[in-house]
Structure 1
């Protein structure tokens, strides 16, 4: 019998010949319980000018499931040149992300087990290949750890809904669903889930309700939201599988024959007793109430939602929010308890499920210095203007400077003209009056496109039926119009605008809740419509809130209810019609500062200089120039080093814009990080030609290498390392990729020639 040399086997071979057989020998079902090479994130989006790429996605070698909805173990494999435990630290990272307690590393000789359920004793121990635990053994340990007895297991093991299309919950949705189901199984009746906008709260809620409904743990369910569009989207999209068991409460007379009820809280409550539709239901009619966007009305003790929640107090109640509301007067946590799971904007961007953003801060002179009217100054309508200094707090609230509005509209239009004039855009204004004036200014700046379609610019505010009727068209990716919308508060939450690429802040925002919700309008990704990132254009310093630790931090309870405290106004209220406003048309306004800011790997806005940030980012990986040069020279593909650094937060395109587009990543890094003189790509290419490096090759091979060098000079190292370069001009004139490779005597020799060319390009004396 032939002896297998384990050291010569690849990692995949080790999996096939040793790890998988060991798992199957322990009675794991290969079809329903074992998944190999599971990619569970998308890879962070990296923006390079007009081009977008993704960082490396997280991929586990194995995930083991007790049932399809319950991941229970992670295995990280290594080839046999590694130790048994060499994959453990990577596996532990995956296990924490996936919320699984059993973690294994193997090189094909044995398994190293790390058991999160062990509180004392051997947390880690080595197991022989034939000692890998069975599904029943791990499930028993899992249930003991979670406190799930046999009576609760049918609830916990109920499958999620699947329509056969292959769509399953993402890893973080799995965690939110499972933790909620487990908490309810154990008798918890108030539950809070915090999930960033765009991460699928409604789909998560549907799967929770489905599993509880199917297991008959909960038989009658009320789903509450505060926007009609949210209810309608939910009914026709995520909740559609409930079919005829579901109804939307719309009339004053309710039908109690359904099991799933969807409702606006405004539709089931009111100040007058006869409007209280929900009182037509008995107090114990619902055994589950789910409140979407519960940061809004429901958190206040005197709100309509709280009244409904208290009426159905015997029901299990789940709150879903992107922004837990924590103020002196209002608290979600005080009502629902601490979140049982939080999936943040920062994590969503890091995982590649949410769109990253850049910020353009624009400072206007009057915003910085203020404006004081001369004595006796009247506004354009003849009103005497009160003599005082007006500043940014006043603009568009008590004082309208028309030239300021025109300048903002011009800057927005200038940006769209430089990018794409049909990119969906939301302009957030101070109030309805400001939104209307901004609409007029934007129409005048875009008269050519408005002439083609009057709906190119629309105001969408709560008081305007015509504008509100266009909200669905703005949201719908397939609908071209409207393109630019102006609003005050109507669109700051619950608007699933997947293709919104520009958010303009001409609104002074003091509330972290409102700020998070507004930013959430741009965080959705839609690859079909080329939406991978978005831009925030800030005229009123609102993005300073990015620096607040609370922007992406855990909520802190600061609730301190006071009897007879101030009532909380509705968040869509607009008191602009009640305020006295002065309007001046003859006050000039100009831009005094404009700068682009980027967010770092941690989701925080970079406030230091881009060069300082680059130095710090690269030096974390390469402390010295020698360490960088050594790694660069040994790399088979230079692009892999570039991708690795970008994954750690290097903003290469931004650096090119600041330092120079003629330099490739090698020179940008050497110059900015290690103070070396940079050489342009053309200078490096010319130096290679002077060395007569190509003389060793035949005529055809020389011509190919010359063309590759030209390509490097024009486009950079990343392009010539890809085999795709052989399919495009001018390389394609030498034949097909296979024919070009054969000029060199095969693929290995072609790649060797390419590596030789790269060595010449980066020789120090360039």
Structure 2
């Protein structure tokens, strides 16, 4: 007779919980996910290296068709039945799961979130676990789904040949949308951060509704060719070419079921150019509006006319950044988002790349006033007033400032990676061209091998736009640096962008979020795990705005007889937004009102130049500061040392607490990784305090004011004590080599047997031969642990 309390958690699952599920009718292969890691673990950047934080892992998730119904947290039998309930509830809230269970192998404790009152937690025997159909009926009743509506919701996801399933947040977005459509709702909004798979989510929604015969014909709207083409040939490919078509050249073929279109291709200034009117008003059952914060969000927009015409269809808006201004409101049109997955959550889950910020201030940025009678290089007298970053390159051009910005961007690339894809956001197309020239001059050595190392990609530059595909490509090496003003702010899938330089005074929160989104795509296999923001205009002050990653709030000026809603944003908050919602020819122009590239241009209204151009103003860097993305999702604004001290003191109340934890830990690297996950950035601290300091000394020095020793000093202390004399010559050689490796690289480099496969250890023999110098593997591991104890003996 085995002792149940001696069983491991996995044994409890195998011997008790899984058999109970099978007895209740659950198909273990199709309906149960065991030990499901539903997040990847946050990327923790450590210098040029990175680690992953802990994944969120559920012991069991039960699925009915494509709906996540229940979660079970298992515990060893020496815990109570409900010991895992709190963790299960936390995970259930994230996963949008209504039925929550905890078990220790004796029984189940059930928490039913669908009950509004009464007994919501109930203990049930192992033999009494609900069947799939029972839980589904309880779920359907809670959601108010009739039998016909249930059949719509039951339609399953499309499964490709790889068996790839939607991520948890995509599944929530898909299910909530389909349930809303089944209930007859007509205006729906999904808010999902850039890089989290909005298009794939839209495909799964359409696929399930189409297979359920709830919808027959779909119109997918975007305002750029690249968005339409990426969607049609990418995520929507399973529909097949006989089902899908793209409306172009103002020609309509009504024999298809999935239609892709540009707003610009459907509308026009003249009535006969309104191609959408060739369809009957009830032709489409579903209209999907991609990047709905643009164009159609504006009530008076010509593009809104398309949605108004097809008002009998379901309208699904998708965006990373709902737009809420005086004239424009996604929420007023579509309603509150049925689901929001934020940038912060995406980074925390490890699905999006984190970022650090380099802020640079130049000596002229706080205010430049021309001396009396100052004339620019074209002979125009410069208006006497104070100019700052809001004016630079909009009304006043300082050539040297452009050169300094280009130099600092190039310096960063030279110090990190010359081939890191980089976007430089400029004030207008003319500024983007001058910046291109300055960057070419700073990187002339690279142009010999890569002629398109630097390009300008703007809406009015056909040559530059042709490079958009190559710039977005994971495979193509060039272009490396792209200067732009608006064309790359949104929608374009720039997977490998590692540097974003802000050289435009962006005030719009919508535009700012979209720009940050250009860097958030994670390409771990291709070496893209984080990105850097270089800010030359104090734009990243917007990180402090509560709206940066908060829930969207309607800011809308009501008309007569409409309800009162919150006040307007500050003036100028949205003036730069792409296209202003108006139809434009072709694919989109960055700045339709931007002056031609040949200066100077005289404003006919004032008789003054639109811009002054100065080539005799000295510009220097006044301040340079690196900021980091902390574990709480906010930028670290205090000094890195002070920030780290506060984090460490939250973990260890005293030096003795830390020393006890350090000495008891078999692997010191585990402590370092744990602290890194909580926001202590060791590599960055080494850059600031001392590259040759061990993590141990960084901690004791920063948190407890202990004088630090360098790694080499610690190694020398060990040598002085003749510690190695108790070992034979062969073992002594290995330990001395390990000690040298520690002095060069730190404690993490000697704590795994993998160290035996790299220089200089691999020059002493094979791993097996090295271990034999100590006897058994356990003897070798014990010797390494004793070496670590000697290293920190003086502490």
Residue 410 of structure 1 corresponds to which residue in structure 2?
Answer: 407
Using a 3 Å threshold, how does the CA distance of structure 1 residues 530 and 641 change in structure 2: closer, same or farther?
same
The one of 661, 668, 678 equivalent to 2:691 is: 661
Residue 358 of structure 1 corresponds to which residue in structure 2?
Answer: 356
Distance (Å, rounded) in 2 between the aligned partners of 1:608 and 1:357: 17
The one of 594, 618, 621 equivalent to 1:576 is: 594
On the 8 A contact 1:432/1:574 being kept in 2, the answer is: no
Q: What root-mean-square deviation, in Å, do the aligned CA atoms of Structure 1 and Structure 2 show? A: 1.7
Distance (Å, rounded) in 1 between the aligned partners of 2:67 and 2:193: 23
Distance (Å, rounded) in 2 between the aligned partners of 1:745 and 1:80: 39
On the 8 A contact 2:252/2:278 being kept in 1, the answer is: yes
The one of 478, 503, 506 equivalent to 1:481 is: 478
The one of 643, 648, 661 equivalent to 1:618 is: 648
Q: 2:449 matched to 1:452?
A: yes
Residues 186-230 of structure 1: CA distance to partner in whole angstroms, max 9, x if unpaired?
A: 111111000000001011001101111111101111010111100
Deviation at 1:560, TM superposition (A): 1.1
Distance (Å, rounded) in 1 between the aligned partners of 2:667 and 2:772: 21
Residue 38 of structure 2 corresponds to which residue in structure 1?
Answer: 40
Q: TM-score, normalized by length of structure 2?
A: 0.93
On the 8 A contact 2:452/2:479 being kept in 1, the answer is: yes
Using a 3 Å threshold, how does the CA distance of structure 1 residues 569 and 348 change in structure 2: closer, same or farther?
closer
On the 8 A contact 1:431/1:574 being kept in 2, the answer is: no
On the 8 A contact 2:662/2:668 being kept in 1, the answer is: yes
Distance (Å, rounded) in 2 between the aligned partners of 1:381 and 1:208: 58
Using a 3 Å threshold, how does the CA distance of structure 1 residues 741 and 79 change in structure 2: closer, same or farther?
farther
Residue 792 of structure 2 corresponds to which residue in structure 1?
Answer: 762
Using a 3 Å threshold, how does the CA distance of structure 1 residues 743 and 150 change in structure 2: closer, same or farther?
farther
On the 8 A contact 1:364/1:592 being kept in 2, the answer is: yes
Residue 600 of structure 1 corresponds to which residue in structure 2?
Answer: 630
Residues 108-127 of structure 1: CA distance to partner in whole angstroms, max 9, x if unpaired?
A: 22222222112222222222
The one of 617, 627, 632 equivalent to 2:657 is: 627
Distance (Å, rounded) in 2 between the aligned partners of 1:509 and 1:26: 58
Deviation at 1:406, TM superposition (A): 0.7
The one of 153, 156, 163 equivalent to 1:156 is: 153
The one of 59, 64, 67 equivalent to 1:66 is: 64
Question: Which sections of structure 2, spanning at least 5 residues, go unmatched?
Answer: 561-567, 569-573, 581-589, 596-600, 604-609
Residue 142 of structure 1 corresponds to which residue in structure 2?
Answer: 139
Residue 310 of structure 1 corresponds to which residue in structure 2?
Answer: 308
Residue 87 of structure 1 corresponds to which residue in structure 2?
Answer: 84
On the 8 A contact 1:38/1:62 being kept in 2, the answer is: yes
User: What SS class does the counterpart of residue 756 from structure 2 fall into?
Assistant: helix
Residue 339 of structure 2 corresponds to which residue in structure 1?
Answer: 341
Deviation at 1:56, TM superposition (A): 1.5
On the 8 A contact 2:99/2:112 being kept in 1, the answer is: yes
Residue 21 of structure 1 corresponds to which residue in structure 2?
Answer: 19
On the 8 A contact 1:329/1:561 being kept in 2, the answer is: no
On the 8 A contact 2:421/2:471 being kept in 1, the answer is: yes
Distance (Å, rounded) in 1 between the aligned partners of 2:775 and 2:13: 35
Q: 2:164 matched to 1:167?
A: yes
Residue 714 of structure 2 corresponds to which residue in structure 1?
Answer: 684
Residues 283-305 of structure 1: CA distance to partner in whole angstroms, max 9, x if unpaired?
A: 11111111010001111101133
Question: Which sections of structure 1, spanning at least 5 residues, go unmatched?
Answer: none
Using a 3 Å threshold, how does the CA distance of structure 1 residues 305 and 625 change in structure 2: closer, same or farther?
farther
Residue 492 of structure 2 corresponds to which residue in structure 1?
Answer: 495
The one of 243, 247, 256 equivalent to 1:249 is: 247
On the 8 A contact 1:265/1:304 being kept in 2, the answer is: no
Residue 421 of structure 1 corresponds to which residue in structure 2?
Answer: 418
Residue 587 of structure 2 corresponds to which residue in structure 1?
Answer: none
Residues 356-393 of structure 1: CA distance to partner in whole angstroms, max 9, x if unpaired?
A: 1111000000012x222222221111122222222222
Residue 237 of structure 1 corresponds to which residue in structure 2?
Answer: 234
Deviation at 1:25, TM superposition (A): 1.6
The one of 512, 523, 526 equivalent to 2:523 is: 526
Distance (Å, rounded) in 2 between the aligned partners of 1:591 and 1:193: 43
On the 8 A contact 2:79/2:104 being kept in 1, the answer is: yes
User: What SS class does the counterpart of residue 570 from structure 1 fall into?
Assistant: helix
Residues 82-127 of structure 1: CA distance to partner in whole angstroms, max 9, x if unpaired?
A: 3322222222222111111112222222222222112222222222
Distance (Å, rounded) in 2 between the aligned partners of 1:656 and 1:77: 41
Using a 3 Å threshold, how does the CA distance of structure 1 residues 21 and 596 change in structure 2: closer, same or farther?
same
Distance (Å, rounded) in 2 between the aligned partners of 1:646 and 1:144: 45
Deviation at 1:616, TM superposition (A): 2.1
The one of 730, 733, 741 equivalent to 1:700 is: 730
Residue 260 of structure 1 corresponds to which residue in structure 2?
Answer: 258
Deviation at 1:624, TM superposition (A): 2.6
Distance (Å, rounded) in 2 between the aligned partners of 1:139 and 1:526: 38
Residue 607 of structure 2 corresponds to which residue in structure 1?
Answer: none
Q: 1:665-676 counterparts in 2 under 5 A? A: 665-676=695-706
On the 8 A contact 1:329/1:562 being kept in 2, the answer is: no
Distance (Å, rounded) in 2 between the aligned partners of 1:408 and 1:342: 36
Residues 235-278 of structure 1: CA distance to partner in whole angstroms, max 9, x if unpaired?
A: 11111111111110103231111111101111111222111111
Deviation at 1:396, TM superposition (A): 0.4
Deviation at 1:644, TM superposition (A): 1.5
Q: TM-score, normalized by length of structure 1?
A: 0.96
On the 8 A contact 2:355/2:531 being kept in 1, the answer is: yes
Using a 3 Å threshold, how does the CA distance of structure 1 residues 745 and 101 change in structure 2: closer, same or farther?
farther
The one of 371, 374, 378 equivalent to 1:377 is: 374
Distance (Å, rounded) in 1 between the aligned partners of 2:704 and 2:105: 43
Deviation at 1:569, TM superposition (A): 7.6
Residue 325 of structure 1 corresponds to which residue in structure 2?
Answer: 323
The one of 619, 624, 633 equivalent to 1:589 is: 619
Distance (Å, rounded) in 1 between the aligned partners of 2:664 and 2:649: 19
Distance (Å, rounded) in 2 between the aligned partners of 1:341 and 1:745: 60
On the 8 A contact 2:486/2:578 being kept in 1, the answer is: no
Distance (Å, rounded) in 1 between the aligned partners of 2:768 and 2:112: 51
Deviation at 1:405, TM superposition (A): 0.6
Distance (Å, rounded) in 2 between the aligned partners of 1:452 and 1:757: 50
Q: 2:738 matched to 1:741?
A: no
Using a 3 Å threshold, how does the CA distance of structure 1 residues 750 and 648 change in structure 2: closer, same or farther?
same
Residue 555 of structure 2 corresponds to which residue in structure 1?
Answer: 558
Deviates more, 1:239-248 or 1:615-624: 615-624
Distance (Å, rounded) in 2 between the aligned partners of 1:561 and 1:703: 80
Distance (Å, rounded) in 2 between the aligned partners of 1:621 and 1:121: 40
On the 8 A contact 2:9/2:74 being kept in 1, the answer is: yes
Using a 3 Å threshold, how does the CA distance of structure 1 residues 103 and 740 change in structure 2: closer, same or farther?
farther
Deviation at 1:623, TM superposition (A): 2.6
Q: 2:173 matched to 1:176?
A: yes
Deviates more, 1:748-757 or 1:595-604: 748-757
User: What SS class does the counterpart of residue 579 from structure 2 fall into?
Assistant: coil
Deviation at 1:562, TM superposition (A): 4.8
Q: 2:642 matched to 1:645?
A: no
Deviation at 1:163, TM superposition (A): 1.6
On the 8 A contact 2:246/2:259 being kept in 1, the answer is: yes
